[in-house]
Structure 1
Amino acid sequence: MTLSNKQKQFLKGLAHSLKPIVQLGGNGLTEGVVAEINNALAHHELIKVKIPSDDRDEKTLIMDAIVGETGSLKVQAIGHTLVIYKASDDNKITLPKK
């Protein structure tokens, strides 16, 4: 599944007021962190993840790994914050038509 620009803009608007739910620690991306992200996605569908890394390439790799391992869609990455979306069975967020 891919998101259209219209859908991304809609999700960015919803994510604007959200606080980061998951924050990576000194150990980086561990199995426990991935499990916590999956739990948060199942409950909220749209979450922010804070990645405290000063190295741009490392941050990009971590963001890509999170998206790949959780099966989510990257909505936006600003600074140290990644916004991801994954539809749950309950469909809490109704996306606009493409």
Structure 2
Amino acid sequence: MLTGKQRSYLRKKGNQLNPVVQIGKNGITSSLLEQVEEVLEAKELIKIRALNNSLYTAREVAEELAEECNAEVVQVIGSVCLIYRQNEEEQKYNLPD
């Protein structure tokens, strides 16, 4: 579970990121989950966009992907969400205590 200070730190880092995954009319499929898993493993913090033609809201996308991928929802603004999962072997972000 992330603390407020850690969320703030990750929001700051996520501000610079571009969305790497887009959820469209097909929704959340198994291939999309695999893609999200791979990106989380490599980058730890990713930004996801729910397109206008998606059946999901950004909040629904964030919560479902976080649950499926064992990650944490950092932030949801409009149609964009930010999720984080720490890589135990090679950490990219040094979270504050």
Which TM-score applies when normalising by structure 2? 0.89
**SS of alignment partner, residue 75 of structure 1:** strand
Q: What is the CA-CA distance between 1:52 and the residue it aligns to?
A: 1.5
**SS of alignment partner, residue 12 of structure 2:** helix
Q: Show structure 2 runs of 5+ residues with no match.
A: none
Task: Compute the RMSD of aligned alpha carbons.
Answer: 1.7
Are 2:81 and 1:77 equivalent residues in the alignment?
no
**SS of alignment partner, residue 50 of structure 1:** strand
Are 2:27 and 1:28 equivalent residues in the alignment?
yes
Q: What is the CA-CA distance between 1:25 and the residue it aligns to?
A: 2.3
- Corresponding letter in the other structure for 2:93: I
Tell me the residue number matched to 1:94: 94
Distance 1:84 1:95 in 2: 14
- Corresponding letter in the other structure for 1:96: P
Q: Show structure 1 runs of 5+ residues with no match.
A: none
Which TM-score applies when normalising by structure 1? 0.89
Tell me the residue number matched to 1:17: 16
Distance 2:13 2:7 in 1: 10
Which runs of at least 4 in structure 1 moved beyond 6 Å after TM superposition?
Answer: none
- Corresponding letter in the other structure for 2:35: E
- Corresponding letter in the other structure for 1:75: V
Tell me the residue number matched to 1:66: 65
**SS of alignment partner, residue 6 of structure 1:** helix
Aligned sequence identity (%): 28
Are 2:51 and 1:52 equivalent residues in the alignment?
yes
- How many residues were matched structurally? 95
**SS of alignment partner, residue 93 of structure 1:** coil
- Corresponding letter in the other structure for 1:51: A
